[in-house]
Amino acid sequence: MLELRGLGKRYTVHDREVVALADVDLVLKPGSFTVVVGRSGCGKSTLLRLLAGLTLPTTGAIHHNGGRPKVGCVFQEPRLMPWLTVAGNVGFGLVGKVTKAEIEARVEAALALVGLSDFRNAYPDQLSGGMASRVGLARALVLEPELLLLDEPFAALDAFTRRGLQGELTDIWLARRPTVVFVTHDVEEAVLLADEVLHMDGGRIIGRREVPLPRPRDATDREFVALRRAILDDLSGRAGSSPPPA
Spatial contact of 145 and 139, defined as CB atoms under 8 Å apart: no
- Are residues 119 and 226 both part of a single domain? no
What pLDDT, on the 0 to 100 scale, is given for residue 49? 93
Spatial contact of 142 and 110, defined as CB atoms under 8 Å apart: yes
The CATH number of residue 183's host domain is 3.40.50.300
- Are residues 115 and 230 both part of a single domain? no
Residues 156-211 pLDDT 10s: 889 999 999 999 999 999 999 999 999 999 999 999 999 999 999 999 999 999 99
Band of pLDDT at residue 243, cut at 50, 70 and 90: very low
When mean pLDDT is compared across 166-170, 230-234, 236-240, the lowest value belongs to: 236-240
What pLDDT, on the 0 to 100 scale, is given for residue 245? 35
Q: What global pTM score does this model have?
A: 0.91
Band of pLDDT at residue 238, cut at 50, 70 and 90: low
- Are residues 234 and 150 both part of a single domain? yes
Q: How confident is the prediction for the chain on average, in pLDDT?
A: 91
Does residue 219 belong to any structural domain of this protein? yes
Domain that holds residue 231: 1-70+145-246
- Are residues 123 and 237 both part of a single domain? no
Last residue of one domain, picked from the residues 143, 164, 179: 143
Give the closest residue to 141 by CA, choosing from 237, 133, 51: 133
Q: Is residue 240 pLDDT above 50, yes or no? A: no
- Are residues 36 and 110 both part of a single domain? no
Per-residue H/E/C for the chain:
CEEEEEEEEEEEECCEEEEEEEEEEEEECCCCEEEEECCCCCCHHHHHHHHHCCCCCCEEEEEECCCCCCEEEECCCCCCCCCCCHHHHHHHHHCCCCCHHHHHHHHHHHHHHCCCHHHCCCCHHHCCHHHHHHHHHHHHHCCCCCEEEEECCCCCCCHHHHHHHHHHHHHHHHHHCCEEEEECCCHHHHHHHCCEEEEEECCEEEEEEECCCCCCCCCCCHHHHHHHHHHHHHHHCCCCCCCCCC
Q: Is residue 242 pLDDT above 50, yes or no? A: no
- Are residues 38 and 158 both part of a single domain? yes
Band of pLDDT at residue 236, cut at 50, 70 and 90: confident
Last residue of one domain, picked from the residues 143, 160, 182: 143
Does residue 53 belong to any structural domain of this protein? yes
- Are residues 45 and 85 both part of a single domain? no
Does residue 75 belong to any structural domain of this protein? no
- Are residues 224 and 244 both part of a single domain? yes
Last residue of one domain, picked from the residues 93, 115, 143: 143
- Are residues 170 and 58 both part of a single domain? yes
Q: How many domains does the chain contain in total?
A: 2
Does residue 56 belong to any structural domain of this protein? yes
